[in-house]
């Protein structure tokens, strides 16, 4: 599974992305996010648990927990502002 971080999220975590081996323990988006926070510690919890965090699975923005499958691409990014 590929996990990508964009914009401010990438900068604050100091990480552009991760390649993770598939595990049933992270078979949902919420479970994956919780595991990333647990593994990464306090800074990751602060960044990934922001209420306005945008999450996408296979390049489709999702607004709720979704089932993940081996080979999925998950992305986390901050809200987009425009002008």
Residue-level pLDDT, tens digit, the chain, 83 residues: 999 999 999 999 999 999 999 888 889 999 999 999 999 999 999 999 999 999 999 999 999 999 999 999 999 999 876 65
pLDDT at 83: 57
pLDDT at 81: 67
Phi-psi region of 53 (alpha: psi -120 to 50; beta: other; left: phi over 0): beta
pLDDT at 24: 87
| Residue among 49, 68, 48, 52 at smallest CA distance from 60 | 68
Under CATH, which number does the domain 2-77 receive?
Answer: 3.10.20.30
Determine the Cα–Cα distance for residues 63 and 83; give it in Å rounded to an integer. Answer: 24
What are the structure tokens assigned to 22, written together? 């598939």
């Amino acid at each position: 599974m590929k996990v990508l971080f964009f914009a401010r999220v990438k900068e604050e975590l100091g990480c552009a992305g991760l390649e993770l081996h598939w595990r049933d323990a992270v078979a949902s988006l919420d479970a994956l996010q919780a595991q990333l926070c647990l593994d990464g510690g306090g800074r990751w919890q602060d960044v990934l648990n922001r209420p306005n965090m945008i999450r996408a699975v296979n390049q489709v923005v999702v607004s709720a927990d979704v089932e993940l499958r081996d080979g999925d691409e998950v992305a986390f990014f901050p809200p987009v502002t425009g002008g």
